[in-house]
Structure 1
Amino acid sequence: MEWLSAENVVAVGTAVLGIAASGLMLWYERRVPRRKRVGYRVQMDSPIGDDARSGRAGSRLGLFDETPGMADATLVLLRLENDGSQGITREDYTGPEPHGLTAVFVDRTIRGVSVTQPTDADHLMDHFTAERGFGYEGNRLRIPRVPLNRGDHFKLLVLLSGGDVGRGIRLTGGLRDGEVHPNRSATPDDKPPLFSRAARTITIMLTVCVVTLAAIVVVRDDDPPPVGCETGTLTLTGSTAFAPVLREAADKYEHDCEGSRITVDPHGSAAGIRDLAAAGARAGKGSPAVVALSDGPKPGGLPQLRENRVAVSVFALVVNDAVPLRNLSTDAVRRLFRGEVANWRRLGGPDLPVVLVGRDSGSGTRQVFQRRVLGGRAETAASSVDCVHKDDVSAPVVRCELDSTDQVLAQVARTRGAIGYSELNLAAEAKGVHRLDLDGEPASVDALEHGTSAYPYREIEYAYTYGNPPADSLASSFLTYLTRGNGQDVIRTHGHVPCWTPEGLKLCA
């Protein structure tokens, strides 16, 4: 189901969470009463006499030393604040006594109290009088009914004796529709958190959902799939020179079109044509799921095969780097491949024997070479299996035949004096070899596209099917993708000219 995508799931989940959070907050506002709260915390509890916990004597000067009872004195700073959602009035304190709250210092005796308040709350001091219950006795400190707006606070600095720091300190008293409770703070004047734990949790969850949704939208591939994606299986065979294009195009098509499986099995143009014809004959009716790529047109006598012009491929002669020549005339190339030149010295090169590395007779690259460069004549007969030793001692030169373009390039690279031919892009990437110009014309795709080159070693790349495949078949869809869709970019990346471009239409005519 297309709607069941990751971004849709996150989006729906975020919406549901937002609605639930809003409903929960509304329920909370209506059902949970807005409470009045007085929070208290001990911001300091420090010895000013001897440190009884460690057994060390303290050092005091002035009144701290002269006042009786300072040997076990402690100072406590107690902060009281309205950390609820409503203001507190004098009438909100529920105790029967004149004062509102009582602070109890366990095992200690109160010796003195000082009240402090923020500069913007001077009015609070009017309530700290004996008439309103402010005072202490023993370990109990009476705190008046102090009205506190939301966020208001005051502090009590209490001098104590008779006990160690860390003893219990508690605040007692009652509030109508509220509570008195201890709170916590990392630093003396920190305020309580603005949002509750539940609010923070919901906010974090919503943020994570939104960020996840944004990441999916940004990262996902929004490129639409090619028009007419089809499922099924397809075999691509034929030209080894065009095989890199087919492999990349097949991978991209499979990525864009789920459910398709394309096998690339190249073993020469002529062999691919034969395989396609045989598959069609076995199928009887209909078109088999096979497409054969050929460097140049098919041979005669196969009327069932239907052609699609795909691209213009450019080929190049390659020579081992031990031969420094950069250009050969067409006549010199023909003499070389007729076996008339056995040593490179005759062409102005080094004293090295000529080794001809060619393709088998079914190769489209070889057929194009013979047709376009050798004037329709065949190469001299093969005389070696290993491309090193003559099997026919009467042969004028060493010549061998290999099964693929990659094998030709590898053999030329490791054999001094060797010459062969290859598809241009593969030749440009090969190590140990360099390309030869023909009659001063370099092998250049750009020059061909701009119409400024008469370079002869080039040919149209054909895609053949057995009959016309159905419009909804994978073969038909892939050919459309290759010739008119995103496959054109793959073709150009590999150094070919797509036929269905303004430049390609002229070259493929």
Structure 2
Amino acid sequence: MNKGTKLAMGFATITLLLAGCGKATSSTSSSKSSSAELSGKVTAVGSTALQPLAAKAGANFTSKHSKVNLTVQGGGSGTGLSQVQSGAVSLGDSDIFAEEKKGIDASKLTDHKVAVVGMGPVVNKDSGVKNLKMSQLKQIFTGKITNWKMVGGKDQKIVIINRAQGSGTRATFENAVLKGATAVKSQEQDSNGAVQKIVATTPGAVSYLAFSYYTNKLQAVSVDNVAPTDNNVENNKWKIWSYEHMYTKGTPNATTAAFLKYMTSKDVQNSLVKDMGYISIHDMQVTKDAKGVVTSK
């Protein structure tokens, strides 16, 4: 091998080494960029129907992003919408569209649908009722039917437990069942959790809950012989359901946006959502708009 050939090979080796170093540097830089740590505070307030899912997903999210401080609180959909509109919180959690809430300017908010929740009537287990017609359900909550024996149950006074005004769960139930009629005056509770406990322990009690709050201590009631199941919500055979919305005021910051992306990811939609009694937005066979109009996909 002559001197020229040796020099050429030497230069070729140096060039390859430099190229390799360049790739390693580029790869390292890219890795650092892609793994840049999220940080900051995210506060979600509102729907108690969405609260368990948001809290669990939030805990999982912060376990992966330790510099993020994520807080989830209830208070009802009305509170969530008003708080996010005022800029007091990052996310306003709601069971209803912003357009449905008086005093909310929906044009200033951005809707992020993260799940679907079925809702339905529940009664104390001793009432003797497992199915009601939609018309009977309406008559119960408007005070026209006052004893369970009037609908085939026990001779027992009906005790209505309602959610407070501003509750998205209440709005969803009344839109589907009362259709503009006025609910009879009754005791009101601020959360799904409170309703769950009171109905389970109060003879004759009736209310409504998100599916995610159903337990074997309550009797879930079918309506028009349609069972309250996820499948029946997905095809709209079960009429009492809503989206779970997370509203932001305009475009969210990077940390809030990352959490919203996580909420609609396969990790959450295919496991956590279903495990906790919600329905994935990807499984719905229909869509519903702010006016309640349902359309097949």
- Which residue number in structure 1 is paired with residue 94 of structure 2? 294
Distance in 2, matches of 1:505 and 1:493, equals 20
Question: SS of 2:126's equivalent?
Answer: coil
1:311 touches 1:504 (CA, 8 Å); kept in 2?
A: no
- Which residue number in structure 2 is paired with residue 492 of structure 1? 274
Question: SS of 1:316's equivalent?
Answer: strand
Give the TM-score taking structure 2 as reference length: 0.79
Q: How far apart are residue 484 of structure 1 and its match?
A: 2.5
Q: How far apart are residue 249 of structure 1 and its match?
A: 0.1
How does 1:53-92 map onto structure 2 within 5 Å?
none
Distance in 2, matches of 1:257 and 1:505, equals 34
Q: Give the alignment partner of residue 436 of structure 1, picking from 205, 211, 221.
A: 221
- Which residue number in structure 1 is paired with residue 165 of structure 2? 361
Distance in 2, matches of 1:480 and 1:344, equals 46
Question: SS of 2:60's equivalent?
Answer: helix
Q: Give the alignment partner of residue 73 of structure 2, picking from 261, 265, 281.
A: 265
1:153-210: CA deviations, max 9, x gaps?
Answer: xxxxxxxxxxxxxxxxxxxxxxxxxxxxxxxxxxxxxxxxxxxxxxxxxxxxxxxxxx
Question: SS of 1:486's equivalent?
Answer: helix
Q: Does 1:351 align with 2:155?
A: yes
Aligned length: 251
The change in CA–CA distance for 1:229 and 1:360 in structure 2 (over 3 A counts) is farther
Distance in 2, matches of 1:465 and 1:336, equals 37
Q: How far apart are residue 326 of structure 1 and its match?
A: 0.6
| Structure 2 gap ranges (5+) | 1-33, 289-296
2:51 touches 2:74 (CA, 8 Å); kept in 1?
A: yes
- Which residue number in structure 2 is paired with residue 250 of structure 1? 58
Q: Give the alignment partner of residue 309 of structure 1, picking from 113, 123, 143.
A: 113
Distance in 2, matches of 1:333 and 1:339, equals 10
Aligned-residue CA RMSD (Å)? 2.0
2:49 touches 2:212 (CA, 8 Å); kept in 1?
A: no
Q: Does 1:414 align with 2:201?
A: yes
Distance in 1, matches of 2:44 and 2:120, equals 24
2:233 touches 2:239 (CA, 8 Å); kept in 1?
A: no
Q: Which portions of structure 1, spanning 4 or more consecutive aligned residues, are displaced by more than 3 angstroms?
A: 226-229, 504-509
Distance in 1, matches of 2:95 and 2:163, equals 13
- Which residue number in structure 1 is paired with residue 30 of structure 2? none
1:229 touches 1:477 (CA, 8 Å); kept in 2?
A: no
Bigger Rg, which one: 1
How does 1:101-116 map onto structure 2 within 5 Å?
none
Distance in 2, matches of 1:415 and 1:308, equals 37
Q: How far apart are residue 377 of structure 1 and its match?
A: 2.8
The change in CA–CA distance for 1:376 and 1:351 in structure 2 (over 3 A counts) is same
| Structure 1 gap ranges (5+) | 1-225, 281-288, 382-398
Identity %: 26
1:325 touches 1:436 (CA, 8 Å); kept in 2?
A: yes
- Which residue number in structure 1 is paired with residue 264 of structure 2? 483
1:371 touches 1:377 (CA, 8 Å); kept in 2?
A: no
> Whose helix fraction is larger, Structure 1's or Structure 2's?
2
Give the TM-score taking structure 1 as reference length: 0.47
1:409 touches 1:430 (CA, 8 Å); kept in 2?
A: no
1:330 touches 1:373 (CA, 8 Å); kept in 2?
A: yes
Q: Which has the higher contact order (CA 8 A, sep 6+)?
A: 2
